[in-house]
Amino acid sequence: LSRSPQVVLRVSTNGRERCRQQNVNGAFGELRRLVPTHPPDRKLSKNQVLRLALRYISFLDQVLTDQEPRGGGRRGRAGSVEEDGSPASSC
């Protein structure tokens, strides 16, 4: 059976989109595990995960600021982000 070019293209596009969506969902799952919640196993929407992550990052930033000696510079921060600012892809 021979497939038309449109079908082949659609199957390829669907596969790429499925992979992209799995990467996004995996990243949200990882972020969800890192953001503390009460109760710990509380189910969060993606919107809630992002909002809580922003608040948690702000809190951690304030903790670091409060611990810095006066007149000291900010410490560098490490992360697993590629040069263009996007997370590494696994597909």
- The domains found in the chain, sorted by start residue, are 5-65 (4.10.280)
Six-digit token string for 59: 């809190």
Three-state secondary structure call for residue 71: coil
How many other C-beta atoms lie within 10 A of the C-beta of residue 51?
A: 13
Query: pLDDT (tens digit, 9 = 90+) per residue, 25-63?
Result: 999 999 999 999 999 888 999 999 999 999 999 999 999
Mean pLDDT is lowest, of 8-12, 30-34, 67-71, 78-82, for 78-82
Q: How far apart are CA 13 and CA 19, in angstroms?
A: 10
Split at pLDDT 50, 70, 90, the class of 74 is low
Q: What residue type is 71 in one-letter code?
A: G
pTM: 0.66
